[in-house]
């Protein structure tokens, strides 16, 4: 007779397999559909270099494939960061966007665009590599501000955390808008599109920029079992030998790195870090060794499907993936609030 553990493990691998198939299907749809439709045979011939045609190479390798790869990386990073933040704070409503980390990173990146406009372009190698560093500085600033105001008697209050996060996000959002209004018209237009959370300008430079930050994922996975201990009281955490503040700082720094790098290349895509961990917990249970990879996979699927909807359903106009995800995310957030209140 199979044990509960073996059934749960089998369920975990089944969810992963199905999730990967859905992600591949979403990537396939994005690769073959658009303003310039291509058949499956055309796509495979182009990918394998069989009888290459210049227009097919341009569409696949310069426009669609980098957009798909970047969307997958960004979605996985945001889903993973959301599960970490909810685990550390023990708050199911915590999310990089709601807590102001997205807003802090966004403010720093817009400041980067404003300070270096005409000197370092956002699509040049130097600009692309520097933008995540500015984003991390902004994310750290937002996190520091949140910690200063959300702590009560030396402990982090989960309810106050949400309120402070919303306030910090609003303040940083206002500053971002003020700085963007000071830009010249061309830079302002680029900043507005980017702030909406868009993969429209995706290229291989952005993909390469994301890759170093994904090295944080092994660190997160190796320590993910410690997030289970964060669900205990602080006294219980200390009694089992957990270095609470050190582990909390490591996890939060990793999540800030992932979020800031994502914001730097795709803008602020909200609600991924909120919804993905909830769906992951419903699918595979409460152990973070399973929640984190599934949450990343769910985030990847959400971004890929959201981007596909944004560029096809409203064609010839294009809707940013951040707007599409927000249309789904706002009612889901209200539902979570009502359920938590109940």
> Average pLDDT for residues 127-143, to the nearest whole number?
79
pLDDT reading at 120 higher than 70: no
Give the per-residue pLDDT at 124: 60
Alpha-carbon distance of 70 to 72, in angstroms, equals 5
pLDDT reading at 303 higher than 90: yes
Alpha-carbon distance of 50 to 142, in angstroms, equals 50
Predicted TM-score (pTM) of the model is 0.89
Residue range 90-108, pLDDT digits in tens? 888 788 887 788 888 888 8
Alpha-carbon distance of 68 to 57, in angstroms, equals 15
Q: How confident is the model at residue 213 (pLDDT cuts 50, 70, 90)?
A: confident
> Average pLDDT for residues 259-272, to the nearest whole number?
86
Residues 6+ apart with CB under 8 A from 291: 83, 87, 224, 277, 280, 281, 284, 285
pLDDT reading at 192 higher than 70: yes
Structure tokens, 154: 């030396």
Total length of the chain: 342
* Percent of the residues in the chain that have a pLDDT greater than 70, as a whole number: 91
pLDDT reading at 118 higher than 60: no
CATH code given to domain 86-341: 1.10.3470.10
Give the per-residue pLDDT at 154: 66
Which has the closest alpha carbon to 230: 222, 220, 216, 242? 242
DSSP 183: S
Q: How confident is the model at residue 67 (pLDDT cuts 50, 70, 90)?
A: very high
Give the per-residue pLDDT at 22: 96
- In order, the DSSP letters of 28-41 are HHHHH-SSS---HH
The residue that leads in pLDDT, 278 or 185, is 278
CA dihedral 291, 297, 301, 304 (to 10 degrees): 140
> Average pLDDT for residues 200-216, to the nearest whole number?
86
Which has the closest alpha carbon to 199: 259, 139, 136, 262? 262
pLDDT reading at 6 higher than 90: no
Give the per-residue pLDDT at 220: 92
pLDDT reading at 260 higher than 80: yes
Per the CB < 8 A criterion, the answer to whether 74 and 302 are in contact is no
Residue range 318-334, pLDDT digits in tens? 888 888 888 888 888 77
User: What is the distance of C-alpha 34 from the center of its chain?
Assistant: 24
Q: Is 1 helix (H, G, I), strand (E, B) or coil?
A: coil
**Beta bridge pairs of residue 155:** 152
Give the per-residue pLDDT at 60: 84
pLDDT reading at 50 higher than 90: no
Give the per-residue pLDDT at 5: 62
Lowest-pLDDT range of 103-107, 240-244, 290-294: 240-244
């Amino acid at each position: 007779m199979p044990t509960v553990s073996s059934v749960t493990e089998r369920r975990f691998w089944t969810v992963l397999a199905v999730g990967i198939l859905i992600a591949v299907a979403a990537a396939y749809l994005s690769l073959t559909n658009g303003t310039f439709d291509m058949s499956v045979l055309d796509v495979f011939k182009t990918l394998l270099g069989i009888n290459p045609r210049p227009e097919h190479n341009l569409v696949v390798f310069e426009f669609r494939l980098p957009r798909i790869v970047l969307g997958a990386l960004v979605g996985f990073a945001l889903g993973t960061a959301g599960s970490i933040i909810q685990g550390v704070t023990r708050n199911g409503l915590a999310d990089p966007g709601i807590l102001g980390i997205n807003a802090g990173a966004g403010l720093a990146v817009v400041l980067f665009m404003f300070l270096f406009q005409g000197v370092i372009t956002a699509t040049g190698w130097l600009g692309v590599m520097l933008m995540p560093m500015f984003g991390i500085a902004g994310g750290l600033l937002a996190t520091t501000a949140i910690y200063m105001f959300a702590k009560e008697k030396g402990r982090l209050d989960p309810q106050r955390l949400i309120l402070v996060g919303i306030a910090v996000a609003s303040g940083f959002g206002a500053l971002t808008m003020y700085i963007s209004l000071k830009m010249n018209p061309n830079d302002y237009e680029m900043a507005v599109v980017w702030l909406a959370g868009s993969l429209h300008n995706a290229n291989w430079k952005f993909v390469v920029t994301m890759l170093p930050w994904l090295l944080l994922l092994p660190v997160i996975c190796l320590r993910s079992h410690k997030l289970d201990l964060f669900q205990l009281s602080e006294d219980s955490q200390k009694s089992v030998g957990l270095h609470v503040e050190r582990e909390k700082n490591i996890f939060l720094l990793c999540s800030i790195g992932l979020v800031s790098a994502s914001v730097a290349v795709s803008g602020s895509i909200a609600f991924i870090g909120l919804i993905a961990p909830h769906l992951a917990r419903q699918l595979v249970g409460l152990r973070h060794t399973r929640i984190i990879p599934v949450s990343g996979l769910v985030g990847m699927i959400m971004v890929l499907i959201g981007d596909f909807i944004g560029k096809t359903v409203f064609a010839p106009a294009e809707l940013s993936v951040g707007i599409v995800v927000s249309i789904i995310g706002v009612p889901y957030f209200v539902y979570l609030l009502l359920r938590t209140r109940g």
